[in-house]
Homo-oligomer: A and B are copies of this chain.
């Protein structure tokens, strides 16, 4: 497999390359507006990504690293901590800081279907079926945390890849949150429009299920009635905890599966 003998022992004994052969050079630019800890974190992350810091290797203690860089220990710790939070490093008291035994690639973030597809080179397209304001039903009101009967924007879209239908999406948004121009909606994703409007997305609560397609759903998505569909409902919150979107979507299970990463919270 790999060139370095990462493998050993059935148990767990951590094989540690004690002397990092090449101490690796890092440098910070004190005239830059970029925080020092962030500069260091980026350089460390780059070194890990590019394999200059091998998985399992020790980082060298914080105090010495701080001295070598001309930084204080708390600053170095802040850089290291940010990478620990990202899952790239592990700290062990009395042992040291090592590069994680890799395997875990970059965690998926909260992304829109549109971005996912585009990133996968799937050339997504959108058709807006509906874009209007109506009173919120009890379910929608509860999801968005607004009063039942108050106005919400209802959005219904069909998502295509390579000219084939792939998902039917129904979204509800608080009125006036962002301008919902049909042309814009057909050329980009909802999340991207929100971010562009200065909304900082923070988290989303999702529920994923499955069911068999009804006749109408089959027609809409070019599937036989009875075909498996993936269903998803999601409420998205911004960084102030305000619900900015609630959606119920259905996907053709034959063409789509959710990929995501869950993190254990301390």
Contacts and interface: CB of A to CB of B under 8 A. Distances in A.
A176 B11 contact: yes
A100 interface: yes
12 contacts: A55-B241, A87-B203, A101-B241, A107-B203, A109-B265, A202-B264, A206-B258, A207-B257, A208-B257, A210-B210, A210-B253, A260-B262
Q: How many of these chains are in the complex?
A: 2
Interface stretch (A23-31, A126-134, A156-164, A226-234): A226-234
Contacts of A201: 264
A257 B110 contact: no
Interface in A203-225: 203-212
Interface string A225-266: 011111100000101111100000000010011111111110
Nearest to A227: B212
- Residue with the highest number of chain B CB atoms closer than 10 Å, among A212, A231, A240: A240
A139 to B, nearest CB: 15
Interface string A48-80: 000000010000000000000000001000000
A1 B147 contact: yes
Interface in A188-208: 200-208
B11 A262 contact: no
**Which bucket holds chain A's interface residue count?**
35 or more
Interface string A98-128: 1011111001011000000000000000000
Nearest to A256: B209
A33 to B, nearest CB: 14
B261 A204 contact: yes
B104 A205 contact: yes
A83 interface: no
Interface string A172-193: 0001100000000000000000
- Residue with the highest number of chain B CB atoms closer than 10 Å, among A100, A103, A204: A103
Contacts of A1: 147
Nearest to A206: B260
Contacts of A227: 212
Contacts of A46: none
A35 interface: no
* Ranked 5 nearest A-B pairs via Cβ: A100-B241, A209-B257, A210-B210, A210-B253, A101-B241
A211 B101 contact: no
A10 interface: yes
Nearest to A195: B264
